[in-house]
Amino acid sequence: MTDSLFFFLASLTLLCALMVVISKNPVHSVLFLILTFFTISGHYILLNAQFLAAVNIIVYAGAIMVLFLFVIMFLNQSQERVRTATISKFAGVTAGGLLFIVLVAALRDASVQTYDPETFDSQIGMVENLGKVLFGDYLLPFELASVLFLVAMVGAVMLGKKEEGEKHF
Amino acid sequence: MESVDLIYKTIYILVIFGITLLIATYSTYAERKVAAFIQDRIGPNRAGPFGLLQPLADAGKMFFKEEFIPAKSNKALFILGPGVAMLIACMSSAVIPFGDMLIIGGREVYLQAIEVNIGLLYVFGVVSLGVYGVMIGGWASNNKFSLLGAIRAASQNISYELAMGLSIIAILMMTGSLSLREIAAQQAGFNWNIWYQPLGFIIFLVCAFAETNRTPFDLPECEAELVGGYHTEYSSMKLGLFLFAEYINIFVASAVMATLYFGAYNFPFMHELGALISDDPVIANNVITILGVVVMFAKIFFFIFFFMWVRWTLPRFRFDQLMKLGWQILIPLAILNIILTGGGILLKDHFFN
């Protein structure tokens, strides 16, 4: 049951992710990206990490993708197609192919680490356990990440701040 | 899961779904009656006794209107928009505990469709998705006014989600759980969260108005500026679905407010009443639970009435006022509320332990 569900979700994820790249219309791309986030949340639920699944939906599908859609809807008012030069197509194919080769070479000898059934805790992804780990073992990285966010926020406010004497309305 | 449980869950989910739709249907009737009462009119009184069949007449009218899809619109997304709005609106009532548990034949039956330990986050996630129906529909209409309505909806929802999330965090700090069943159970009797979180409740209430696009925050469908807002190009039942989704959202928002702040199915002296009714704990429990469901729905109806009351009392905000309220007043207030709550919890631990 879980196996077939995993394969169904995995193929759906790959399909949606492909459609993000293939779609001609940027709005369609964004909508497929949202679907991809949903399928990834499905994977999290299969891994019994409900908190991560919910936060993934709230943060990515609920907030960041709304902003993406917001911006694209503003930009996409003209219907003209962007023409791509042949040389840039070749460059894209070459770069993508090289990346693919590197990935295959890197992953060829990789082995998946299996878990030990003796010590495995299926409740590790629950909110309480995650909170204990984040505020215990990984306190410093967690706090540093929040400082990073604060810096980004202050930077954004600085950039968006009106200059002295500037009036828009 | 046993098959009995599965059958029970299926029936319960269908019942909740039906109740949601029924309440949304009759909210349209209630809205007109409340509006009529506030404006000293009579309101709908032609279809059936007291106009009670008016929602059916409206639905019939909606279905027989012409299905109109504008030329040069994105047809697939144009049809998808109202569907997404409706789907997402119906999703969130799944985790709301409408009652405690019944004991039937020794089996504990919880009056909640699914119990997840992240129930509150689930509701929050579904609410944050609610804007997609509006955005997709508004953009696919290929109409500047629809697009402006959709963009207003997006920016408004994102802005008010922040304050809403921050006001919920204060509740989480007090209860220490994300499960709605747990939060409801902790408010037993008259120990409701509203007594500890009045500021948080006011912030949540304002944000709920903004998230459901209700007056005074119904800028996405502001007819004075945007013709009809995001559903300008919609007709027939596709428009009906958008309007219907709004009423379902009001129902869900009311249910969440009742659960988080007004004690869900709990009412004062419930345990004393249970002891008074019967010595048999099973019968006492069942009577109290059924009374609890009635109380829960009474609270929900009160909040739905409150939504309508505000709609017919307050005028609409201007968009820059709306943004200013969200970012410069509600978010700092919500952060202050978190700090006060944290201080209160620490003081309580310090003095009363």
Residue B176 contacts A, CB cutoff 8 Å: no
Give A119→chain B minimum CA distance, Å.
Answer: 23
Q: Is the pLDDT of residue B57 over 60?
A: yes
Q: Cβ A66–B132 below 8 Å, yes or no?
A: yes
Token pair recorded at residue B218: 């119904």
Query: By the 8 A CB rule, do B124 and A58 touch?
Result: yes
Asked whether residue A20 is domain-assigned, the answer is yes
Mean predicted confidence (pLDDT) in B226-243 = 83
Token pair recorded at residue A62: 């609920």
pLDDT at residue B204, rounded to an integer: 92
Looking at A21, A51, A78, which one is the last position of a domain? A78
Asked whether residue A32 is domain-assigned, the answer is yes
Give A102→chain B minimum CA distance, Å.
Answer: 37
Asked whether residue A97 is domain-assigned, the answer is no
- Cβ within 8 Å of B, A 97-156: 126-127
- Supply the CATH number for residue A59's domain: 1.20.120.1200
Q: Cβ B154–A69 below 8 Å, yes or no?
A: yes
Instruction: Choose between A70 and B255: higher pLDDT.
Output: B255
Looking at A23, A43, A78, which one is the last position of a domain? A78
Q: Is the pLDDT of residue B73 over 70?
A: yes
Q: Which ranges constitute the DSSP H helices of chain B?
A: 3-38, 54-64, 75-91, 119-129, 131-140, 144-175, 180-186, 198-211, 223-226, 236-261, 270-277, 281-311, 319-324, 331-351
The H-or-E segment that residue B151 falls in is: helix B144-175
Number of Cβ within a 10 Å radius of residue B86: 19
Count of all residues that appear for chain A in the document: 169
Query: By the 8 A CB rule, do B51 and B41 touch?
Result: no
Beta bridge partners of B103: B108
Number of domains in chain A: 2
Q: Is the pLDDT of residue A165 over 70?
A: no
Asked whether residue A23 is domain-assigned, the answer is yes
pLDDT at residue A79, rounded to an integer: 57
Number of domains in chain B: 1
Range of the domain at A42: 1-78
Residue B177, classed as helix, strand or coil, is: coil
The number of CA neighbours under 13 Å toward the Cβ of A129 is 12
Q: For A1-10, what is each residue's pLDDT tens digit?
A: 778 888 999 9
Give A7→chain B minimum CA distance, Å.
Answer: 23
3-state secondary structure B99-140: CCEEEECCEEEECCCCCCCCHHHHHHHHHHHCHHHHHHHHHH
Q: Cβ B161–A63 below 8 Å, yes or no?
A: yes
Residue with tokens 């309101």: B43
| CA B63/CA B238 separation, integer angstroms | 9
Residue B328 contacts A, CB cutoff 8 Å: no
Query: By the 8 A CB rule, do B259 and B268 touch?
Result: no
Q: Is the pLDDT of residue B277 over 80?
A: no
Token pair recorded at residue A165: 């004497």
* A127 contacts on B by Cβ (under 8 Å): 117-118, 178
Which residue of chain A has the CA closest to B131?
A: A66
How far is Cα of residue B103 from the mean position of the Cα atoms in its chain? Answer: 29
Considering only CA atoms, which of B138, B147, B160 is closest in space to residue B210?
A: B160
Q: Cβ B118–A27 below 8 Å, yes or no?
A: no
Asked whether residue A38 is domain-assigned, the answer is yes
* B139 contacts on A by Cβ (under 8 Å): 27, 69, 73
Q: What is the pTM of this model?
A: 0.86
Range of the domain at B106: 3-351
- pLDDT bucket at B159, cuts 50 / 70 / 90: confident
pLDDT at residue A141, rounded to an integer: 92
Q: For A71-112, what is each residue's pLDDT tens digit?
A: 888 776 555 566 778 888 899 999 999 999 999 998 887 777
Asked whether residue A34 is domain-assigned, the answer is yes
Cis peptide before B55 (omega within 30 of 0): no
| DSSP 8-class letter at A113 | P
Asked if residue A72 and residue A131 are part of one domain, the reply reads no
Asked whether residue A103 is domain-assigned, the answer is no
* Residue B109, phi then psi, degrees to nearest 5: -115, 115
Rounded to two decimals, the ipTM of the complex is: 0.81
pLDDT at residue A97, rounded to an integer: 94
End-to-end CA distance of chain A: 60
